[in-house]
Amino acid sequence: MTIRRALILNDNGLMGDAFAERIRECVLELLISRGPGRTICVSEAAQTLAILSGYHWHDLMRPVRTISAQLADAGTIEALQQEEVVDIRVSRGPVRLRLRALSGVRNVQTG
């Protein structure tokens, strides 16, 4: 087992609930601060978490993608590649995240 896995995964191979919640909060806070219709890169969340947790941001990419997939399954966010909604579990390469628009509410893209 690598040091990276030992830091992020518990003995069962799963992220601890507290760490998963920290990732969830970070992703949502970044999206809310960015504003309606705007996106963040998965790496932005990983880099922010790295500063807060002391991990190297590359080591946080998979956990951020995993939690982002859960948020997408719950209908909270969308994962995008080239402006198309994708399944973050199977997509390769850079993925951007955005808050999912509420039904009947139009996202306004600025800037």
| CATH number for the domain that contains residue 8 | 1.10.10.10
For residue 94, being part of any structural domain is answered with yes
pTM for the model: 0.78
Asked if the structure places residue 105 within a domain, the reply is: no
Distance from C-alpha of 108 to C-alpha of 26, rounded to nearest angstrom = 23
Residue 27 lies in a domain: yes
- When divided into structural domains, the chain yields a total of 1
Q: So what's the pLDDT on residue 104?
A: 55
Contacts of residue 56, Cβ cutoff 8 Å, sequence gap at least 6: 4, 50
Domain carrying residue 33 = 3-99
DSSP H helix total and E strand total for the chain: 4, 4
What is the per-residue pLDDT for 106?
54
Alpha helices (runs of H) in 1-111, residue ranges in sequence order: 3-8, 17-34, 42-53, 61-73
